[in-house]
Amino acid sequence: MMPRAWCAALASVVLGLCAVPAQAIQQAFLVQNSGWMEPFYADPQSQFKPLIAAVANAAARPGDKVMVLAFSQSSGSNVSPQLLGQGDGAAQVAGWLAPLAPARKSASALADTDFREAVTKTIGETFKSRPGIIWIFTNNKNSPGNDPATAARNLEFYRLLHLEPSITRTVVFPLRMPVQGKFFAAKGLMVYGLAYGKEAGDELGRMVAEGRLAKILTKPPARLKPVDQDGVRIVPQAVLNTPNMTASMGTDKRTVVLDVDADKLVPHIRLKASLQNLFYPYLIAQATVDGQLRTRAGTTPLTVAPAAVSNLAPGASQSIEVSFKLPLEEVPSAWSSQAIAAMGKQVIMPMSVSLGLSNQRLALPASFKTEMQELFPGDPLSDMFVPPDSVKSSTAQVPLIVRVQYPLTPVLVIVGGVLALLLALAALAFLAMKTTRYPVMVNGVRRNVLLKPFKSLAIKADDGAAVGEIRRGLGRPTVVQVEPGQTLTIAS
């Protein structure tokens, strides 16, 4: 069980997540400088400080608030954590770290280590209980009050990372860094990334997904939390039941893309694919897979065969067949405004696949345990990576895009119709401007008159007396009025 002191220490700062509106993510880089860290400072070949500066520059975006703090354990005049510097961006991190040396709790003794104090003070005092990402650089020896039971103290810290709900995401980078000092030696270094609050968790997830740290920390991070989200992905290979549809992976390496012509859509899709384990460093010892297709209209069942997963190593894949029904009622008609606006190009229909792993059991591969014991002898790392018993399932959201290629025929028909209408209007305009000569009989005398379409003309006798009026539409004119005692007709 987690000690009450740990729970109480974070209880006050957890409330800040609900009370304070989300702000730009801040990042704190906690650098251990207790006695156990002496070889990382004393060894002339140590890459400890350059590594921290490189990670800070990779993690922080321009304008991010960056803070660098040294931590050990507060005792006497030694204060932990101690702010070394803060500012916008990480350009000055190397300079802030340059003078840092192991802290002392007295003139004759190096300082002890207290992870709990470092984390809770950073959240409550440095972050002011606002969301942020905490980076911890440590040799993984936690010894408050010079407690020799560092393994037990580490185990308490690991339980905190798993069970504290305000810490929404935790990643770990175990690094090989052999160093030799005057008093101690070490083989490895641990870099923790802790997200406090949802916004920080989202940012840390994006950071890892975008590979912003990959050039510095070349191995993938070990995931401590969450272990109930995004543990698998579908890698498409082919569509089995129609040769007219192709399947591929999007540039984000997550989205499944299906391409098809509008006239070759089929209602049911059978997709050959592989299910890949993203739960590094965990082996999926067992799980049952099911799924749903989510569209704008709602959800429809999706089947995965085989539905059982067993002993799937991290990064490894298992061949599967995914079957689902496309919502053809949501596919725009070739005569719809959406299809016509595409001008013969593709119309994109966004969807998503929700995969669920039930009866999930994760395990650590023996090779990973061996590697960790070599880097951190005696540390209960296998306990750190064991998820809480309450985590028996996980979900993964897989974006799905159907790109429908529409023909140009409707566009050509509409363009042709518009052109025909324009030509007709032009012809009408031409006719409306054209004057035509027509013969008329005025009181028995033949006479010629000029008349434009849709115009009227008053006819008069030679003496100027009014005879009548004729009017023309598009064709021949007609007599619309004759004065008494006069005659007026349209001659043949």
Does the pTM surpass 0.75? The reply is no
pLDDT tens digits for 272-285? 888 899 888 889 99
Q: Which amino acid is at 252?
A: D
Residue 427 lies in a domain: no
Domain that holds residue 200: 4-225
Residue 181 lies in a domain: yes
Residue 211 lies in a domain: yes
pLDDT recorded at residue 147: 56
Asked if residue 237 and residue 213 are part of one domain, the reply reads: no
Would you tell me how many other CB atoms lie within 10 Å of the CB of residue 468? 19
Asked if residue 194 and residue 164 are part of one domain, the reply reads: yes
Positions of the chain with pLDDT under 50: 1-22
Angle at 88 between CA 84 and CA 89, to 5 degrees: 90
Going by the DSSP 8-state scheme, the letter that residue 340 receives in this structure is H
Exposure b/e, 25-59, CB count within 10 A at least 16 = b? bbbbbbbbbbbbbbbbebbeebebbebbbbbbbbb
Asked if residue 25 and residue 126 are part of one domain, the reply reads: yes
C-alpha span between 353 and 399 (Å, rounded): 6
Asked if residue 140 and residue 276 are part of one domain, the reply reads: no
Give DSSP secondary structure letters for 399-458.
Answer: EEEEEEEPPSHHHHHHHHHHHHHHHHHHHHHHHHH--EEEEEEETTEEEEEEE-TT-EEE
Asked if residue 195 and residue 281 are part of one domain, the reply reads: no
Asked if residue 479 and residue 405 are part of one domain, the reply reads: no
* Tally of domains in the chain: 3
pLDDT tens digits for 235-256? 888 888 777 778 888 888 888 8
Q: Which amino acid is at 81?
A: P
Contacts with 224 (C-beta within 8 Å, 6 or more apart), sequence order: 158, 161, 162, 170, 171, 172, 384, 385
Tokens 């895009």 -> residue: 401
CA atoms within 13 A on the CB side of 225: 23
pLDDT recorded at residue 467: 86
Tokens 């995004």 -> residue: 230
Asked if residue 216 and residue 91 are part of one domain, the reply reads: yes
pLDDT recorded at residue 462: 84
Residue 208 lies in a domain: yes
Domain boundary residue, one of 225, 252, 283: 225
Domain boundary residue, one of 194, 225, 256: 225
Tokens 């974070």 -> residue: 10
Asked if residue 208 and residue 252 are part of one domain, the reply reads: no
Asked if residue 285 and residue 238 are part of one domain, the reply reads: yes
Residue 23 lies in a domain: yes
Residue 424 lies in a domain: no
Residue 134 lies in a domain: yes
pLDDT recorded at residue 19: 39
pLDDT recorded at residue 113: 85
Asked if residue 130 and residue 213 are part of one domain, the reply reads: yes
pLDDT recorded at residue 310: 93
Residue 183 lies in a domain: yes
Please list the helix, strand and coil fractions of the chain in percent, rounded to the nearest 5, in that order.
25, 40, 35
Asked if residue 306 and residue 199 are part of one domain, the reply reads: no
pLDDT recorded at residue 39: 95
Contacts with 209 (C-beta within 8 Å, 6 or more apart), sequence order: none
Asked if residue 87 and residue 42 are part of one domain, the reply reads: yes
Angle at 78 between CA 75 and CA 82, to 5 degrees: 120
Domain boundary residue, one of 225, 254, 276: 225
